[in-house]
Amino acid sequence: MIRSEYVIVGANVAAVGAIDGIRRHDKKSSILTISYESLGSYSKAMLAEYIEGANAQWLEYRGKDYFKKMGVDCLFGRKVTGIDIEKSMLATDNGDEVSYKKLLLGVGGVPFKPVIKGAEGKELVFTFTDFLDAEKIREALKKFNSAVVIGAGFTGTEIAYTLNKLNKKVTVVELGDRALVKALDPKSSEIAEKLMKDEGIEFYLNDTVEEIAGNKEITGVSLKSGKFISCEAVITAIGVVPNGELMKNTPLKFDRGLDVDDYMCTNVPDVYGAGDVVKALDISDGQKRSLPLWPLAFQQGLVAGINMAGVRYPYAGGLPVNSLKFLKVPILSAGITTPPDASYETISVSDPKGTFYRSLVLKDGRLKGFVTIGEIDGAGVLTGLIRSRIDISGIKTRLLGKKRIGLMQMPREWRNRIFTRRDETDYND
């Protein structure tokens, strides 16, 4: 029997946030983290660089020395297989039983894998979600020269761009009518697609893969439209969904994400959640949903850890911010980029070359989201305006200009409000 005051399932960024939060208020109690992965905490945003050849240590956000320094015991390479809520007990895949007083579930998301005829039993069918996926793709690079990527979201476009850089012929198949539909508006999607097409990446939109052809080796994929694409590898990158496996047969409320309150506590006392697995507040529209973004996972973990240590501290919500760092022209978006109804106002500007574009989405004069391409240095001010909920009606057209948006260009009475409103980015003991 293993006993610990605090037990954290998962060792990635939400876990690091929780450890930091706990140790700010409880320096001595035992903490145990359990992870199915062999690494410590690493940056998933760097997985593409690992596939390109970067050393695995370069991915580390907090290495194993961090856990030792923080007085945290670790069970790496161990999978939690069950939770007994009544006994405050966990079971692991090697038969260990772990007793906890406070539990954090930071189990993240799992790749959404569509059922595709012919996928089973083929070596070169991959997902692209974690280090193990990246390791499999990297080890297989010499075995294929062409690949079909299923999904044109951030994950799909990133792995497509990476494989293209490695001189693979890449085709992206997307069910929707454009790429990056969740993060960009139609015009910016068009620009991003063109940038990738200019690099030699092909797109098939409004289509889907119905069958993977070949016996043991892949020869191509058949699309719903009837088209056939020759390829030697297939990568499913449709996105992740909250991992609800551990919540089955427990009292924990889980519906497209683990339900947590403002203090990151579940409906079961002393059981908390953070990261991709939970539904958390999106401040751009006031809705609770899964927000699978690295910085938000850390902040949720931090708030959870503070509360686990006995200090009441609410999570103020997070703002989804996405950056396409891999394209030749930088693209950044935040909040609502495609208005859901006519109550929103959209204003935009672009240049004919497609090297600059900016779109602002407003409601009742307040900024709710934006997309900026080419000039992204002022993104911090724009996100600050979303968080502060300042009425920007009087300066909205100025914010569309090519010139860098600086804090000093804002009215004096706004400057403190833009960066001092308490939100997910700050915490003071």
Evaluate if residue 410 carries a pLDDT over 80.
Answer: no
* pLDDT at res. 407: 62
The backbone torsions φ and ψ at residue 42, rounded to the nearest 5 degrees and listed phi first, read -135, 165
CA dihedral of residues 405, 296, 373, 336 (deg, nearest 10):
-90
User: In CATH, which of 3.30.465.10, 3.40.718.10, 3.30.390.30, 3.40.50.80 is domain 329-420?
Assistant: 3.30.390.30
* pLDDT at res. 423: 45
For β-strands 146-150 and 321-324, DSSP reports them as: unpaired
* pLDDT at res. 289: 92
Evaluate if residue 426 carries a pLDDT over 50.
Answer: no
Strands (E), 162-230: 169-173, 202-204, 209-213, 220-223, 228-230
Evaluate if residue 418 carries a pLDDT over 70.
Answer: no
What's the DSSP call for residue 46? G
Residues 31-38 have a mean pLDDT of 94
The predicted-structure confidence for 301-315, as pLDDT tens digits, reads as follows 999 999 999 999 999
Question: Residue 298 and residue 317: Cα distance in Å, rounded?
Answer: 12
Question: Residue 389 and residue 316: Cα distance in Å, rounded?
Answer: 14
Residues 199-226 have a mean pLDDT of 97
User: Angle at the Cα of 354 (from 353 to 358), degrees rounded to 5?
Assistant: 130
Evaluate if residue 110 carries a pLDDT over 50.
Answer: yes
**Shared fold status for 2-110+241-308 and 113-238:** yes
* pLDDT at res. 211: 98
Question: Residue 223 and residue 206: Cα distance in Å, rounded?
Answer: 10
* pLDDT at res. 429: 40
Question: Bridge-partner residues for 244, per DSSP?
Answer: none
Residues 258-271 have a mean pLDDT of 98
Confidence label for 415 from pLDDT (cuts 50, 70 and 90) = low
Question: Residue 295 and residue 301: Cα distance in Å, rounded?
Answer: 10
Residues 82-101 have a mean pLDDT of 96
Rounded mean pLDDT of the chain? 92
Q: What percent of the chain has pLDDT over 90?
A: 77
* pLDDT at res. 79: 95
3-state secondary structure 110-163: EECCCCCECCCCCCCEEECCCHHHHHHHHHCHHHCCEEEEECCCHHHHHHHHHH
Evaluate if residue 288 carries a pLDDT over 70.
Answer: yes
Residues 357-380 have a mean pLDDT of 92
Evaluate if residue 34 carries a pLDDT over 60.
Answer: yes
Question: Residue 333 and residue 292: Cα distance in Å, rounded?
Answer: 15
The predicted-structure confidence for 3-26, as pLDDT tens digits, reads as follows 999 999 999 999 999 999 999 999
* pLDDT at res. 380: 84
Reported pTM: 0.89
Higher pLDDT, 171 or 324: 171
* pLDDT at res. 212: 98
Question: Residue 232 and residue 168: Cα distance in Å, rounded?
Answer: 10
* pLDDT at res. 420: 54
Evaluate if residue 422 carries a pLDDT over 80.
Answer: no
The predicted-structure confidence for 316-341, as pLDDT tens digits, reads as follows 999 999 998 888 899 999 999 999 99
- CA distances for 353 relative to 117, 191, 239, 327, angstroms: 42, 10, 31, 15
Instruction: Give the number of other Cβ atoms within 10 Å of residue 341's Cβ.
Output: 6
The backbone torsions φ and ψ at residue 14, rounded to the nearest 5 degrees and listed phi first, read -65, -35
* pLDDT at res. 398: 85
Residues 48-69 have a mean pLDDT of 90
* pLDDT at res. 57: 84
Residues 267-293 have a mean pLDDT of 94
CATH 3.50.50.60 fits 2-110+241-308, yes or no: yes
- Residue 93, both tokens: 């895949």
* pLDDT at res. 206: 98
Class of CATH domain 113-238: alpha beta
The domain spans of the chain are 2-110+241-308, 113-238, 329-420
Range with lowest mean pLDDT among 197-211, 233-247, 376-390: 376-390
Q: Which residue has the tokens 């092909």?
A: 202
